[in-house]
Structure 1
């Protein structure tokens, strides 16, 4: 049961320290989520309270079934926009049909995610390489930070990519509200100082490490309280400072989606897109945050957790949700240790939705923007460009392309580009596997690359080691290599393929091996295999390749050379090449 309900696992070791950290994180995230959820609901074309409803039951369900310790589930900008686009042509904004379509879209997305989890399709996340994920997170952090500048300046601005956001900001810059800018700059500066300087200052004052850590994590709460009281006491809303305002007071209602065949058909494709893009975005954030604490997330179980969260949203007045980048960063940054922080956040949001919303009436949007900016900038990592450039030019190109596409065309294109580039990198690398010609290391039974070591070889025996599994993308490359090598040397009578690094041979590769065997046989050359792994041998036995093999299958490379070489004790030919592959 622990495998499918992770709360049973981490719940066993839950202690007071984790409780304290989770409660602090929940308070901070709750304060941030109230206005953010309202804004995302409006972005989706739904009533403001729908954002709160979509942030309560889904968070609790994810806390039970999810595996990420820091991921915060709820409404996000991308999914909100996709929701509006999906149901905008089906029903008119503000009508009951529009709200029902949103519920149905959430239910369909949840069902799709659950099915993907049941059928173990979480491996799709493996197609996102870590450098590409880092590039996507970096670009997304920049876009989110830039999008929050409008709240710092107190102006209207919009855009789904960095270029549009910057153009909009510059256009409306003359409309900057000085009072709002003052609040935003002071809050941002204070939060940066809290992040870097508060804990050392408290330690110098004599506070213990634990108390200093708690007060440091509560820094954003202080900023929220101070700016809220300032706006209320000085009547700054009358000076144009934008505030959260009034929010309806009620708990999430029980709702029923519309499962009519016509509506399901119209929403199927949007539901699939929202599910896939939401999962990729969520798992990218979850894996990045988990890596920072040397933790792991289970992609298959994440699908189940996100599926349960969306189904919960469908039956409690919400709309499609996923793991949010900004709120997850704030949750992580505030010190959340377990998914219980999400459950506490849901409780806090429920209390706020029922009774506490008047307290955030005067909360300035600039303070919330400052909290998000300080949090997301911590994940902006341009060093990945230097690291990837030094290590692999192909990785560098993938990271740079992901960053540029995300910044220039938006998060959705960036996520899609990341997946495509990761798959492309994999295919590129494995389509040209490293093939080494090997020889015997003197006085041993080990074989090594003739270009790297002084080894003994036999001109009549070509011994090659394939350092990659064989499949459709690289099978032809192996054919070309073998034929190109044997044609240039007339003395070759035997070809031995050392298969110690081959873990899989698909049907296309098997057909290539059959072609190699047939053509070598016509040239009077025998093909042999050595060190074939058990699972690979089992696959080969299912066909007639071994029956038609012109040579033999040897247990070890040394045995093959011992049986096939005509040289006495492998002495005569020793050569060294300076070229290193």
Structure 2
């Protein structure tokens, strides 16, 4: 039972005196932060603002029950909201009833995919997405999110909404139409948010700009002078909704659902791990997938949209003293109170304020330092980041990350197909065998070649290895012995084993060159035993060390 409901273990050891105070404080602060953020992210997703509040109730409660992180703050986030808009807006007009129905179906699909991955223990799959891909995608997505809010910031109903370059071009061409009061509210809100984040940390910045923005609209009558406001926000709790299961729509939304499932989980799991490492407990990838999957299924049935764990809110939740998932339950309860009694307060909230909240929240996702670091440490990882970044900006969200993943896998396959092979020589000062290209004093042997292969052997890299061995044989025409150091080989597939066996037999019969393996790891020794190598080649086919091989082969080591 605890595998599915981790909160049972938390409540069993819950300390009302020590834990409740921190949970109450954190729950209140996150709720204050989440109300404007949830509405802003719903707007980013092309949905009515109230759906951001719906997504901050039932999904949060479900995660608190089924998630494995004690401090992760689940709810609407900018990245997922952009993916929702990008994936669904091509099939229906944002904000329409058809669009909302598609978003509910998408949430159900995301939840189903994540839940299935958790049940099937496929959390490890996400580790195949390289950090360069995630960083490049996140940085590009942050820029796309920022520019998608320009229409609310400048007060122009832009025709372009997804492509950064088209948005820049349209704003430049229509610069004369910029609504200055709207721009003033947006820029002013950004400045206030930055100032409060740096100087007045005890008061949530989003709450401050919401209050100031509404006061400005009311006192200056700005809503009657072209400033767009939220207007009516429906009161009451979300009703039960049943997503329409249309096979053709499911197939059309599948790429977006898969992207959100993986990106949402990666973002959430990364933050959960950071907090868990500080608090000395473990979060489980498959348990997190189950918790997030059930949360998104809950969002689908209660008028929400896809959710995940957010970086900024989770950090605030943790810093505010959250000790257990009870903090999230308190947050959800406070959002319910807002839905029941206070939605009318947001009538005069300017859309430019919500745009400013989004802009300030996502700008820190643009990670220039990571790009410089990867480029400096390993150039190919920097190239992967840059390619993903450019592809996301040019091709769009789904194609961008697909291109990044495809390129990173291609790089992995290409690199593994050309493993590092080092010729070894004896270094007298160290009493060890080392790479002759790195140690000038490494001493080699006249008719014996010692090579170390630093990679598993499999069908894709055996051709490269055989070509390398052939080149070495040509270089040393009087060669009698080849010693292969397998200390870096932890696996060999059947094809590679057959090809290596054929090469050893060919060199023995055609060129009278004996091949010996040394430092063979246990799993590889087991494979050699199953393949009957001792019967085929004799006990001298492998030795525990290079020295023993040289002695057994009667090689003069002086």
TM-score, structure 2 as length reference: 0.86
- Per-residue CA shift, 1:50-97, capped at 9, x if unaligned? 5543442223223443456556434623224434556x59xx9637xx
- Per-residue CA shift, 1:120-147, capped at 9, x if unaligned? 2222222222222222221111221222
Identify if the C-alpha distance between structure 1 residues 192 and 304 changes in structure 2 by more than 3 Å, giving closer, same or farther: same
Partner of 1:363: helix, strand, or coil?
Answer: coil
Deviation at 1:278, TM superposition (A): 0.6
1:374 is aligned to 2:356: no
Deviates more, 1:359-368 or 1:149-158: 149-158
Q: Which residue of 2 aligns with 1:183?
A: 185
Q: For 1:169-568, what aligned pairs fall within 5 Å after superposition?
A: 169-196=171-198, 198=199, 213-215=201-203, 218-257=204-243, 263=246, 265-270=247-252, 272-286=254-268, 289=271, 295=277, 298-319=284-305, 321-323=306-308, 328-332=310-314, 334=316, 336=318, 342-442=328-428, 446-453=432-439, 454-522=441-509, 523-549=511-537, 551-567=540-556
Checking the alignment, whether the CA contact within 8 Å between 1:71 and 1:285 is kept in structure 2 is: no
Long gaps (5+) in structure 1:
200-212, 572-581
Q: Which residue of 2 aligns with 1:134?
A: 135
Q: Distance in 1 between matches of 2:404 and 2:503?
A: 37
Q: Distance in 2 between matches of 1:41 and 1:145?
A: 14
Q: Distance in 2 between matches of 1:477 and 1:330?
A: 48
1:62 is aligned to 2:67: no
Identify if the C-alpha distance between structure 1 residues 226 and 418 changes in structure 2 by more than 3 Å, giving closer, same or farther: same
Identify if the C-alpha distance between structure 1 residues 491 and 279 changes in structure 2 by more than 3 Å, giving closer, same or farther: same
Partner of 2:149: helix, strand, or coil?
Answer: helix
Checking the alignment, whether the CA contact within 8 Å between 2:152 and 2:355 is kept in structure 1 is: yes
Partner of 2:202: helix, strand, or coil?
Answer: helix
Identify if the C-alpha distance between structure 1 residues 519 and 269 changes in structure 2 by more than 3 Å, giving closer, same or farther: farther
Deviation at 1:464, TM superposition (A): 1.0
Q: Which residue of 2 aligns with 1:73?
A: 75
Q: Distance in 1 between matches of 2:136 and 2:368?
A: 8
Identify if the C-alpha distance between structure 1 residues 421 and 345 changes in structure 2 by more than 3 Å, giving closer, same or farther: farther
Checking the alignment, whether the CA contact within 8 Å between 1:277 and 1:412 is kept in structure 2 is: yes
- Per-residue CA shift, 1:305-328, capped at 9, x if unaligned? 232122212332445x1438xxx3
Deviation at 1:240, TM superposition (A): 1.4
Deviates more, 1:383-392 or 1:364-373: 383-392
Partner of 1:76: helix, strand, or coil?
Answer: helix
Checking the alignment, whether the CA contact within 8 Å between 1:41 and 1:49 is kept in structure 2 is: no
Q: Distance in 2 between matches of 1:137 and 1:506?
A: 37
Q: Which residue of 2 aligns with 1:115?
A: 116
Checking the alignment, whether the CA contact within 8 Å between 1:437 and 1:464 is kept in structure 2 is: yes
Q: Distance in 2 between matches of 1:101 and 1:410?
A: 20
- Per-residue CA shift, 1:248-281, capped at 9, x if unaligned? 222122344556xxx3x33443454233201232
Checking the alignment, whether the CA contact within 8 Å between 2:86 and 2:397 is kept in structure 1 is: no
- Per-residue CA shift, 1:484-533, capped at 9, x if unaligned? 21232122222221111212222232233223222222222222211111
Checking the alignment, whether the CA contact within 8 Å between 2:59 and 2:296 is kept in structure 1 is: yes
Checking the alignment, whether the CA contact within 8 Å between 2:28 and 2:334 is kept in structure 1 is: no
Q: Distance in 1 between matches of 2:178 and 2:283?
A: 43
Checking the alignment, whether the CA contact within 8 Å between 1:133 and 1:288 is kept in structure 2 is: no
For the aligned residues, what is the CA RMSD?
A: 3.1
- Per-residue CA shift, 1:92-120, capped at 9, x if unaligned? 9637xx87666555434422322222222
Checking the alignment, whether the CA contact within 8 Å between 2:256 and 2:398 is kept in structure 1 is: no
Deviation at 1:380, TM superposition (A): 1.4
Q: Distance in 2 between matches of 1:239 and 1:457?
A: 86
Q: Distance in 2 between matches of 1:409 and 1:99?
A: 25
Q: Which residue of 1 aligns with 2:30?
A: 25
Q: Distance in 1 between matches of 2:516 and 2:429?
A: 24
Q: Distance in 2 between matches of 1:258 and 1:406?
A: 30
Paired positions, count: 536
Deviation at 1:28, TM superposition (A): 0.8
